[in-house]
Amino acid sequence: MFKKILLPVFVMFAFSACSNHKAQENALLDSVKALHDKAMDDEAQLVQKRSQLKLVAAQKPLVKDSADYYYKLLDSTDNAMMDWMHKFNPDFTGKSHGQIMDYLRQQEQAITGIDSSMNESVHQSVFFIIKSMSYEVTK
């Protein structure tokens, strides 16, 4: 009699543990996707600032080298984002819960770092653009 009761309880426990693992995995995956979406929204500013830097370089030859530096900085963070997107693989077939969670935590850290770098490079570029556009050569 005890075995008849214990088996269904064990099966129910096993299913609830699996669904809890799936919920944890899905929540972390959703977090990674949300961070990606935020970074992609920020990327629009990055593209705009690169265009402005090209304009600064063309109009202000004395600051062209600096404009090129900030352009490359923006380009580097954009490339990091593209690289992350190409390498991100949410196919967890055959992976344990621990492996999935470890991978997603690593990806969360990576995309957070990329977003921070992107924001910092955009901020630095904005400062440079404002400063260089107000710079006038006096003779």
Q: Which of 129, 139, 119 is nearest to 78 (CA)?
A: 119
- Residue 106 included in any domain: yes
- Residue 66 included in any domain: yes
- Residue 122 included in any domain: no
46-55: long-range contacts, CB 8 A cutoff, minimum separation 24:
46/74, 46/77, 46/78, 46/118, 46/121, 46/122, 47/78, 49/74, 49/122, 49/125, 49/126, 49/129, 50/74, 50/75, 52/125, 52/129, 53/125, 53/128, 53/129
Q: Which of 127, 19, 119 is nearest to 77 (CA)?
A: 119
The label of the residue with tokens 């984002």 reads: 81
The label of the residue with tokens 């304009």 reads: 55
- Residue 103 included in any domain: yes
- Residue 64 included in any domain: yes
Domain that holds residue 104: 48-82+99-115
- Residue 63 included in any domain: yes
Indicate the pTM of the whole model.
0.78
Q: Tens-digit pLDDT profile for the chain (139 aa)?
A: 555 555 554 545 554 455 688 989 999 999 999 999 998 888 889 999 999 999 999 999 999 999 999 999 999 999 999 999 999 999 999 999 999 999 999 999 999 999 999 999 999 999 999 998 886 654 4
Tokens, residue 56: 């600064």
- Residue 65 included in any domain: yes
- Residue 129 included in any domain: no
| Number of domains into which the chain is organized | 1
Q: Which of 6, 4, 8, 5 is nearest to 16 (CA)?
A: 8
